[in-house]
Amino acid sequence: MLEIPRRAEDITRAGVDFTHRKLVHPWLTRGEAQKDRETAHERALTAMEWVQNHDNVMSAFKRFFPYRDQILETTVGDWDIPNPLGIAAGFDKNARAHHFLGEGLGFGLVTVGSVTKVRYDGNTRPRIFDLPNNDGLINRMGFPGDGTDAVEERLIDDLFDKGIAQSYILFLSIAASKPSFDAGTAIEDYFAAAKQMWRYGRAHEINVSSPNTPGVKGLQEPDVFRDLAQTLKPLYTFLDGTPRKPLFYKFSPDLPKEKLEEDIKTAIDNGATGISVTNTTTVRAIEDPETRELRELLGPDVHREEMGGISGAPLREKALEVSHQVFEMSGGKVQIKRAGGIQTAEDVWNALTYGGATVVETLTAFVRPNTSTPNFAHYILRDLASAMRAYDMKSMGDFKDLSGKRVPFPKI
């Protein structure tokens, strides 16, 4: 009796996938978007906003697309969430569609931003480049955004005036744009932005690792990072050192191990709840762990020589190794929010086991033509739940015993 509805659901989902990839995605990427992928992103956000603002349509999305299973319920910071899969910062920079992503599509966390104190247009367009042969992207956005005043107004409207309920966690990513670094006020502007946005979002992420804004990566230098962490500490901890609000710091995959280890210690000493890894990479070759020889990160692609940070599948292996390093360096004392190359349930599984992650975020795979679908989170979470049951796991808490270990993804 149960097989017919399940089969009907599978057929419906397959129809959604087909429609999205044959009609919706081509519509998003037509015309001007062929020259500038950011146009496609803008069209997608506009469509998501429309759904979010129409209750009947939004209700239909909420009933069909999220995958709900008690085995996936977990905790980030001290907040309970329905599942460990999120959307990374960079997709919804200005808090326009977080409710659609969380409640409508079923992501357990959505990171908005990075939000900066100063409104800034970012680097010259085009600044997003497709890597179709590598399942990746190159971007050199440079923190374009509406600034804290506009984002605050939008969140007040969403969270207070409209009273939008949230089962997902809204993270806010905080950063500083080029005008702040040019004026020599970067640390002060991080503090000002964090203070203004403090009551919004259930947790904050401090982005100190964007490769596309001059000066940002310098914040990872241990002495400079210590100044930043000490400046922000009073906002996020009580006098006795206990957290007032979950705080994560986001680091680069290109940071040397000794600096990463020192920064992690500084973050823990100054009240951080977690570490986010990783941002995009500008390194075009990585060392093969078996042969110790350098190999090219990117294969043939027309845009492979564009400047900017690489995301998606080319970053997967490197991001996983950095996550594992953070787990070992911290001794499991902080939660890890892992991003970089997350495309399948197996990627999530590896992040939660060998990478020691608490939660996992995706972005590039969510927008790539061969993997993009409103069912994206549903499929990954369904397969993750099946994998957990194949190991006779009862809850997400069972991953604690597997953290830092290579555990094969089961055949499901």
Reading phi first (left if > 0) and then psi (alpha if -120 to 50, else beta), residue 7 is in alpha
210 is catalytic: yes
Burial of 56 (0-12, 13-18, 19+ CB in 10 A): exposed
Considering only CA atoms, which of 359, 360, 356 is closest in space to residue 333? Answer: 356
Phi, psi for residue 207 in degrees, rounded to 5: -90, 110
Identify the active-site residue in 210, 252, 330, 372.
210
Q: Which two tokens stand for residue 71?
A: 């085995």
How far apart CA 351 and CA 306 sit, in angstroms, is: 29
Please report the sign of the dihedral spanned by the C-alpha atoms of residue 372, residue 312, residue 84, residue 348. positive
Q: Which of 44, 46, 54, 53 is nearest to 24 (CA)?
A: 44
β-partners of residue 359 are: 337
- Whole-angstrom Cα distance, residue 122 to residue 116? 11
The residues that are catalytic are 210
